[in-house]
Chain A
Amino acid sequence: NAGVMQNPRHLVRRRGQEARLRCSPMKGHSHVYWYRQLPEEGLKFMVYLQKENIIDESGMPKERFSAEFPKEGPSILRIQQVVRGDSAAYFCASSWGENTEAFFGQGTRLTVV
């Protein structure tokens, strides 16, 4: 049973480009969470999604960031018009249900140049 898969592992974007980060949850998991870890910081919650629904996006920046978890396919975290401050490690976690432990992927390291 494969774990949470994130790709790409490393992503380099120029300022102003778009970044798309993908997360395939563990088999049977329908809950996905995205976290961001800035340099020298802890992980910060961004968004919680279930299939086709955003449950809690209280940690998402108001502009340029969006997330989806379609009925088929991986969850996507999309960052439009990236800026240097978006450079961070982005982690996805998934869980089977609302009251179960979340398992993390290996993360995508985004570098904006």
Chain B
Amino acid sequence: DQQVKQNSPSLSVQEGRISILNCDYTNSMFDYFLWYKKYPAEGPTFLISISSIKDKNEDGRFTVFLNKSAKHLSLHIVPSQPGDSAVYFCAASEDQAGTALIFGKGTTLSVSS
């Protein structure tokens, strides 16, 4: 039973365009959502987070949108850069402690120049 789903295993975008990575969840108790970026042979790196009291959080080129009624969140990267090419994991937890994070399977983003 997958509580956090990233239905697109891969996404290809041209440099300068917008990348939109999607994530759906099933557990209505999830209160805190995070995105991690992972390069090959490295650990995940925290990118951006959002708590359920907000519907948008922005940090530079990265914006996360949360639609609680649809149990859906998305990560927007604008403009996309070749260095953004990585695997992006959506994660959720029932509190902001970040413990027991439930991760999606990841989406591989490829940004071509």
Contacts and interface: CB of A to CB of B under 8 A. Distances in A.
Contacts of A6: 43
A104 interface: yes
Contacts of A4: 43
Contact of B44 (A43, A55, A56, A99): A43
Nearest to B99: A48
Interface residues of A, number: 29
B96 A99 contact: yes
B97 interface: yes
Interface of A: 4, 6, 31, 33, 35, 40-45, 48, 55-56, 58-59, 91, 93, 95, 98-107
Contacts of A45: 99-102
Interface residues of B, number: 24
A104 B44 contact: yes
Query: Nearest 3 A-B pairs (CB), nearest first?
Result: A104-B43, A42-B103, A43-B103
Contacts, number: 63
Contacts of B49: 101
Interface of B: 4, 6, 36, 41-46, 49, 89, 91, 95-106
Contacts of A48: 99-100
A44 B100 contact: no
Given A48-B100, A58-B100, A106 B43 contact: yes
A6 B43 CA distance: 10
